[in-house]
């Protein structure tokens, strides 16, 4: 047994430089792309800075991740795909007149991502993007990207109030759940991707920070109460970069409402009985059973106060992530991020949370990764040592003092 951990980051981000998407667009969009790109102003400072090439420079990225102790990654989007006003992770559902071009832009990103993952075989699980405006198109793209070798599953867009697309509990999306179940494709829902537009006032930005994870959590109860897991029992949902400490309490709350509404539906007509009508038949298993059988958490830069909840969350559910290359991520201090969370825990538990669970969910071959980790991975003894001092340059919330976050 090696004395190092095999670390798989279940939350990293990448994308092409703006003009490099053009070869991946269908040719009929090239003139439109040239006109759009000529006037586009990138709103994100980190995507125009010298460090921006960490998103697409494969050699630099590999070297920095290995130096940080990470040997494989799940790759979510980050840069601006063609015809989008902002990063696609944050962009709202397109209006009908915008849909065709933005859908072309996302497919270009998916093609680029397949090539990018091929540069490092077996070590990048690319997450394909879809839109919810046209379910048949989405299903076709899921099949295509699976065949193209993207093993990270799909990124489920948010459907916040006012988005113009049906809510996620809608039966409209059943063909998407069906094909993901059929192909063994994980459905990923990333934090920040489901908030409604709030404007740009200081208060709006603060409200966004308070509410954004809650809006992302909604996917869990929408799919549970919508019966997606009853109809497609092999469907897997991964909730990424939206914390993990909330899960036990929310699952208990969902169990409470499920039991209360189902019971009410069996009684004589009351005000509450209407809310539970048909729920038991539509859902099948209760929420805690669905969490146990179908759900996982991409617990990016897991915080120390969340770790004592690991048994209630499920040790087989938790997948640590560095969030590279974002400022809020743990790089280049991921070893310290692992220490502040996991020091003193049993080795087998740490191994599962930092790599084993992600390998199982996303299909990484540990036979390939373990020898690489034997060179680059953090040592077992190193992670076991409690962190006494936060690195001066650390910017991740993983290291935030105060509240219930303990810092040694």
User: Phi/psi zone of residue 57: left (φ > 0), alpha (ψ -120 to 50 degrees), beta?
Assistant: beta
pLDDT category of residue 218 using cuts at 50, 70 and 90 = very high
User: Cα–Cα distance between 271 and 266 in angstroms, integer?
Assistant: 13
Q: Specify the pLDDT at position 2.
A: 74
DSSP-derived secondary structure letter, 377: S
pLDDT tens sequence across 133-151 = 999 999 999 999 999 999 9
Share of the chain above pLDDT 90, in %: 81
Q: How far is CA 23 from CA 85, 111, 145, in A?
A: 20, 10, 17
Query: Is 8-399 CATH 3.30.572.10?
Result: no
pLDDT surpasses 90 at 89: no
Nearest in space to 302 (alpha carbons), one of 163, 399, 181: 399
Averaged confidence pLDDT in the chain:
94
User: Cα–Cα distance between 81 and 86 in angstroms, integer?
Assistant: 8
Q: Specify the pLDDT at position 407.
A: 29
Q: Specify the pLDDT at position 404.
A: 39
pLDDT tens sequence across 344-374 = 999 999 999 999 999 999 999 999 999 999 9
Lowest mean pLDDT among 63-67, 72-76, 198-202, 391-395: 198-202
Lowest mean pLDDT among 247-251, 262-266, 297-301, 380-384: 262-266
pLDDT surpasses 90 at 290: yes
The mean pLDDT value for 57-78 works out to 98
Locate the domains of the chain by residue range.
8-399
pLDDT category of residue 406 using cuts at 50, 70 and 90 = very low
Q: Hunting for tokens 């740009």 — which residue is that?
A: 200
The mean pLDDT value for 225-229 works out to 97
Q: Hunting for tokens 């087998």 — which residue is that?
A: 348
pLDDT surpasses 70 at 76: yes
The mean pLDDT value for 173-188 works out to 98
- Token pair belonging to 142: 């899921």
Q: Specify the pLDDT at position 1.
A: 58
Angle at Cα 7 formed by Cα 6 and Cα 8, nearest 5°?
Answer: 120
User: Cα–Cα distance between 17 and 53 in angstroms, integer?
Assistant: 8
pLDDT surpasses 80 at 173: yes
Q: Specify the pLDDT at position 22.
A: 98
Q: Specify the pLDDT at position 184.
A: 98
pLDDT surpasses 90 at 343: yes
β-bridge partners, 124: 73
């Amino acid at each position: 047994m090696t004395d190092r951990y095999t670390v798989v980051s279940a939350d990293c981000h990448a994308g092409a430089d703006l003009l490099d998407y053009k070869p991946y667009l269908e040719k009929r969009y090239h003139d439109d792309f040239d006109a759009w790109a000529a006037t586009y102003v990138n709103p994100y400072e980190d995507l125009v800075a010298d460090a921006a090439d960490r998103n697409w420079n494969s050699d630099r990225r590999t070297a920095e991740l290995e130096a940080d102790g990470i040997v494989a990654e799940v790759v979510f989007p980050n840069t601006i795909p063609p015809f989008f006003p902002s990063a696609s992770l944050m962009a709202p559902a397109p209006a009908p007149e915008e849909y065709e071009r933005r859908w072309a832009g996302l497919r270009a990103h998916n093609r680029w991502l397949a090539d990018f993952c091929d540069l490092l075989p077996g070590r990048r699980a690319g997450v394909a993007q879809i839109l919810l405006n046209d379910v048949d198109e989405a299903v076709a793209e899921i099949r295509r990207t699976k065949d193209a070798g993207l093993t990270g599953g799909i990124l489920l867009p948010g459907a916040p109030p006012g988005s113009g697309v049906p809510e996620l509990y809608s039966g409209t999306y059943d063909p998407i759940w069906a094909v993901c179940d059929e192909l063994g494709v994980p459905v990923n829902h990333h934090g920040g991707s489901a908030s409604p537009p709030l404007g740009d006032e200081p208060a709006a930005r603060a409200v966004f920070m308070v509410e954004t994870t809650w809006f992302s959590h909604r996917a869990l109860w929408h799919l549970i109460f919508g019966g997606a897991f009853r109809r497609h029992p092999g469907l897997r949902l991964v909730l990424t970069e939206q914390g993990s400490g909330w899960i036990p309490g929310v699952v208990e709350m969902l169990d409470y409402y499920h039991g209360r509404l189902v019971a009410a539906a069996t009684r004589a007509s009351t005000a509450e009985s209407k809310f539970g009508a048909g729920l038991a038949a539509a859902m099948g298993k209760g929420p805690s059973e669905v969490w146990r059988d179908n759900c996982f958490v991409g617990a990016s830069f897991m915080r120390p106060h969340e770790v004592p909840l690991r048994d209630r969350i499920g040790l087989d559910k938790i997948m640590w992530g560095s969030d590279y290359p974002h400022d809020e991520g743990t790089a280049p201090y991921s070893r310290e991020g692992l220490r502040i969370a996991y020091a003193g825990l049993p080795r087998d538990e740490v191994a599962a949370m930092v790599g084993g669970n992600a390998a199982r969910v996303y299909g990484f071959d540990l036979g390939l990764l373990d020898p690489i980790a034997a060179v680059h991975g953090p040592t077992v003894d190193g992670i076991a040592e409690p962190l006494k001092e936060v690195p001066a340059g650390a910017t991740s919330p993983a290291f935030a003092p105060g509240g219930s976050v303990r810092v040694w």
